[in-house]
Chains A and B, each alone.
Chain A
Amino acid sequence: MKIAFTSEGTSWDSLIDPRFGRTENIVLYNEESKELTSVDNSAVKNDAHGAGTATAQKIFELKPDVLITGNGPGENAAKALKHINMRIFVDAHNLTVQQAYNNFKSGNLKEV
């Protein structure tokens, strides 16, 4: 399974970024290859509108099976993610990517 996280940094110790559209980075973990990669999302910050949809498009290109974030995507982004049947888990605020992953595996995160 491939899992995407909205993250402030690029490593397992980085904190989950509670925002979706304006998240600093998207961290991707591939369970099969055990590889952790990341995509810089900071270019989206300058956009007045459409940060959510822009980030949704990025997520689509990475093709994860699951998205883990804090607040959850806003209305527009949610529509876009629904279109690609993305499973979204929220309430990972104040956790590191590692902790969020553990919580996900043990079923402690809320799915929307």
Chain B
Amino acid sequence: MNTQDLMTPLERSKALSAGAAIDRLPCIPIVGNSAARLINARVSEFRGNGKLIAEAHIAAYRTFGYDNIRIFTDLYQQAEAMGAEVFYPEDETAYLKTPALQKIKSVSDIVPADPWHDGNLPEFLEAIKITVDRVGNEVPVTGAVVGPFTNTSFLLGADELARKITREPQTVHALCEISLETAIRYCRAIISVGGTPSLTDAMSSSSVISPHHFEIFSFPYLKRLIDDIHQMNKKVTLHICGKSKPILSRMADTEADCLSIDTDLSIAEAKQLVGHRIKIMGNVNPTEIMLNGNASMIRNAVINCVRDGFDSPCGYIVASGCSLPTATPGENIHTMMNIVREIGYPVTIDKLERLDIS
């Protein structure tokens, strides 16, 4: 447990759902590759090294004391396990080099990944297992899982996906189906090692596709994936980067247990639209505030988010809008956690006003 807190994240979360007293609001600065900084590792060293990923995330959790460990390096791990080629820069987040279907010629040759065997997925399971064994008794450990539509985009390539959505929708559906199978298998594997899946679906964003296409190509697969996770008695958070307002209500309809809101929508608006149906988290700007901001900017941003969200009927978690950039200064993450500690619990408007002025 972090020495500055009175409760562990799990104690806090249990007390909160039981309506009991807690020490502060849960807070999740979404640490991904920035965890490498805590153990002086380079991002590329994470590749195929579950032990190192675990070590970095445990160190980051112990340093900052946030409320959820999320094992995540990049969006391409499931696609890689299905034949896509990923480029791993020396010290930055990996990116898609070649979509699977530029190498594999026929859709029928694309098969669902086996998370115990294919690509680097076994190392992620190892990382989750080690992390759960070491700190799982005090903090939830989640493994990021990419949504079926986004994974399909990495199989086809973004341009080809755009064309096929209109001209060959059956191909897109076939690939979403195979990607769903990969995601289901990976989620089950994550749960089997003691972790919880956490869904991320960047390409489903209204910054990329229309709400109409979301309805056809993304929603049905997300819903089935979330249903499967629920059958395993696990709760799941759904994150969609970028614009989400037009699809927010449908995101809630997936029956995910929490929606992670990016910075294109205010927490006040999200609360008004879906706060009565679902827990929400967000949305301190990861770049302008967490990477480039100073302490007072971070304080203000957190206070504003809390003011917007603390009375959301189904609950609110202070969080960054999206994964923090690798170079985010540790000091800024401490600042975010500390202001949440200072706000404490219960949150009142009076208290926020006083902190705002100070």
> Do A and B truly interact?
no
Interface residues of A (CB under 8 A from B): none
